[in-house]
Chains A and B, each alone.
Chain A
């Protein structure tokens, strides 16, 4: 399964606000399938790393408590026009994803 990752960079006070949206089920492992009654296995993003021009700016730890299709926001300081912001994530089933955006 591939999950779409989208990123948006907004210019705000004292830096750039980076918002990252991943289409991901974020299953807790507690839910059951209504038809079969079988437990749906846990499936969630564990780590999300934000980089500015290749150096790590923030590393987020996620778990089952984060909503489906997580929208994670951080603030990046000192980014200039043309700089590259990159996000990568990894989930508990070893799947990965990410995207890159250029600061306007």
Chain B
């Protein structure tokens, strides 16, 4: 059994059990299954279920157009949506597209999340913001000249 098959199997098992309940619940358990998914649509489905996803002007990404070093790419996501519940960062072409997310407390925290992420190659970077029943997103292509995944 090769590694890919094994991981796919793991992801499927996780999909059967873990992902049915909300992975993003406030009782924080590290969502292991999310990090094992290998494609962006799977990640979005695992995060938000069937909630409608739409590009929105209420979400903006501040990131370099070109990253000289894929190991450190600064990303800053801001949203003007007042009821933002979570902000997630997904890199389409990374081996594990789900990078990081933050759960916000509407009223107590503003719509901002910044992190430095690793990117294996030039890819689309998307930010998903959950607000109410809807998911708002923004995306940007970042060119990577030197990869940051693996040695």
Contacts and interface: CB of A to CB of B under 8 A. Distances in A.
A58 B114 contact: no
Contact of B113 (A56, A57, A60): A60
A64 B100 contact: no
Contacts of A68: 71-72
Contacts of A58: 102-105, 109
Contacts, number: 121
B108 A77 contact: yes
Contact of A65 (B98, B102, B103): B98
A61 B30 contact: yes
Contacts of B113: 60, 72-74
Given A66-B100, A67-B73, A76 B108 contact: yes
Given A56-B105, A58-B102, A60-B100, A67 B112 contact: no
Contacts of A19: 114
A37 to B, nearest CB: 11
Given A14-B110, A74-B109, A59 B28 contact: yes
A67 B110 contact: no
A75 interface: yes
Interface string A39-80: 000000011011010011111111111111011111111100
Interface of B: 26, 28, 30-31, 34-35, 71-74, 76, 91, 94-96, 98-105, 107-118, 148-151
